[in-house]
Amino acid sequence: MTMATISVLFRRGRLWGALLALSLMLSACGFHLRGNGGQYALPFPSLYVGLPEASPLAIDLKRNIRATGSTTVAASAKDADGVIEVLTDPEKTRSKSILSLNANGRVREYLLAYNIVFRVRDRLGNELLGPTQIALNRPLTFNETQLLAKEQEEALLYRDMQTDLVQQMMRRLAAIKPVVTMSVAPEAPVAAPKQ
């Protein structure tokens, strides 16, 4: 072996050693990729979603909750261990505003927004997650000669934002630590010492 070959092997060995050390340090500190492959451990055996049944957001959220395998979707709030209350009007979660105009004063870009405020309560009404806002925005370029294509692109962007919103809600739900109420057993009477 020549010195150049030994030098290259030594450098590769140091590189692999550094990568191994870095991966061990990351795994030791608890680092993991966001979402754990889309699986979340929710702290509730059952959850109620306070949205209209036909709402696309409710359908997507319920599907993700059921996919955890450990949490069921309850039919009513009184039957659930956790209740997701949506505080924004479901009709006003999506919006579309003009972002920019061209030189002729015609729309060049729109800004699509998806905004929701929700909170989570337990069966006893304790607030486990205070009012939390998730706001997402996406720009949409506009061309009046391609109306049909732009309508489809708008629908795809809203669907993408809804998927992102549901994933963010699932992460926040998985981070909740339920309130544990400790019941104190009455003290047993102490027997008098025998004399």
Residues 101-115: pLDDT tens digits?
A: 999 888 999 999 999
Contacts of 162 (CB under 8 A, 6+ apart): 56, 57, 60, 114
Q: Where are the domains of the chain?
A: 40-174
Q: How many angstroms separate the CA atoms of 62 and 129, rounded?
A: 18
DSSP strand pairing (82-86 vs 46-50): parallel
Helices (H) and strands (E) in the chain — how many of each?
Answer: 3, 6
pLDDT classification of 35: cutoffs 50, 70, 90: very low
Task: Dump pLDDT digits (tens) for 160-193.
Answer: 999 999 999 999 999 998 766 554 555 555 555 5
In the prediction, which pLDDT does 92 show? Answer: 84
CATH architecture group of domain 40-174? 2-Layer Sandwich (3.30)
In the prediction, which pLDDT does 192 show? Answer: 57
For the full predicted model, state whether its pTM sits above 0.85.
Answer: no
In the prediction, which pLDDT does 148 show? Answer: 87
Q: How many angstroms separate the CA atoms of 181 and 158, rounded?
A: 41
